[in-house]
Structures are given as structure tokens and as C-alpha cells.
Amino acid sequence: MRPLLEEVHLLEAYAEGTLPEEQQLDVAVRLLWDRDLQQKLAGQQLAYRALRLFGRRQLRAELEAIHVRLFG
């Protein structure tokens, strides 16, 4: 994967807390001074939130369609 995508991958694992302890600590330390990385992490977390909101709306629509099909 390209370095940029590797970084997306890394931040995802960091946010999930699934990195090996040493690497987890390493990212935490980098985040202390690296503003660019801080913004990327913040953006990524916002992206996850957007996906959750979007997914929930899609699930609601799927349930509504089921309702109409079965009981509408």
C-alpha cells in the first residue's frame, strides 16, 4: 500500500487500540507534537462518525421497506 494508505491503516488500528503496545505508544507520542497527524486522526474519527450516521439512516430505510412489504 502507498505510504498515505499505510498511515490511514495505522491510525485506524491506533483508534481501535489494536496496535502492539510499543507501536501504540509510538503513535501516541507522535500525536503530541505532530499537528498534521492530529488533524488526520480527528478527520478519520469524523469519517467514522459520518459512516455510522449514514449507515443508520440506510438501516432505517431498509426496515421501513420491510414493514411496507410485510404489513403495509
Partner 1 sequence: MEAALLTDRAQTLERIYAKTYPMVRHYVREHGGSDDDAKDLVQEALITYYEKVVFEQLTLTASVTTYLMGICKNLWRQELAKRARQTALTDTHADLAEDPTPDAEPPTASLMAFVEQLGETCKSILVSFYYFGQRLEQIATEHGYRSVRSATVQKFKCLERLRRAVSHLTIEQFKS
Which residue, among 7, 3, 1, 5, has the nearest Cα to 37 in the 3D structure?
A: 7
29 binding partner 1? (CB under 8 A)? no
**Upper half-sphere CA count for residue 3 (Cβ side, 13 Å):** 0
39 binding partner 1? (CB under 8 A)? yes
33 binding partner 1? (CB under 8 A)? no
34 binding partner 1? (CB under 8 A)? no
Helix (H) or strand (E) holding 8: helix 3-16
Interface residue list for partner 1 (CB under 8 A)? 1, 4-5, 8-9, 12, 39-40, 42-44, 46-60, 62-64, 66-67, 69-71
